[in-house]
Structure 1
Amino acid sequence: MPDLTDEQKREFEAAAFRRLLAHLRERTDVQNIDLMNLAGFCRNCLSNWYRDAATDAGVDLSKEDSREIVYGMPYAEWQARYQTEASAEKVAAFETNRPKEH
């Protein structure tokens, strides 16, 4: 493995995160419950983690602001445009596999 500086690591991690956000913004067909059932995290988790990092750095970032950063638009707008009703099967799978902390 190459010997990366801390700055390089941060730059590459940030680039990978931006690419993940861009991918999730393009894949509006993939619902949060699908992500939760498959991977154990979703867009809301990412926004919470982003907000936690801001808080740790002493920056006050609201839940709505962090969600807008992740979704690329206000959360309510994303819900109205793209969120669909989850099937009973997806809800049951989520309840079975629900993470302890989210």
Structure 2
Amino acid sequence: MDKQTEIELQAAAFRRLQQHLMQDRTDVQNIDMMNLTGFCRNCLSRWYQEAANAKGIEMGKDEARETFYGMTMDEWKANYQTEASAEKQAEFKVAFEENVANKG
């Protein structure tokens, strides 16, 4: 497979993941994703931001999230986010430290 085709397939897979998380499975909470997998929608938007910045495209966290989510974080939270239990919040602190904070 040539490099351009590989890039196109990777981009298509990313778009499908984005659709799955943003349209098909809005019921799945970010905190649950982070606790189970070590990443969530916010991580994906951050990785998008980092890729843009690496290409010399200025993009902040809010802009990256709005691009990924297709709406502002306030809109997402109002429409889909539920309250997390104290237990889930404690698990999140550990998952965040292991998968985000300590990754540089």
Q: Normalising by the residue count of structure 1, what TM-score does the alignment of the two structures yield?
A: 0.89
Q: CA deviation at 1:20?
A: 0.4
Q: Which residue of 2 aligns with 1:5?
A: 2
- Structure 1 segment 80-91 matched on structure 2, within 5 A: 80-91=78-89
> What's the C-alpha RMSD, in Å, of the aligned pairs?
1.3
Residue aligned with 1:98, SS? helix
Query: Comparing both structures, which one devotes a greater share of its residues to helix?
Result: 2
Report if aligned partners of 1:40, 1:99 keep a CA contact under 8 Å in 2.
no
Residue aligned with 2:83, SS? coil
User: CA distance change for structure 1 residues 92 and 77 in 2, over 3 Å: closer, same or farther?
Assistant: same
* Equivalent of 1:38 in 33, 36, 39: 36
In structure 2, what is the Cα distance between the partners aligned to 1:49 and 1:39?
16
The alignment covers a number of residue pairs equal to 99
In structure 1, what is the Cα distance between the partners aligned to 2:95 and 2:43?
15
Q: Which runs of 5+ in 1 are unaligned?
A: none
Structure 1 runs (4+) deviating above 6 angstroms are: none
Q: Which runs of 5+ in 2 are unaligned?
A: none
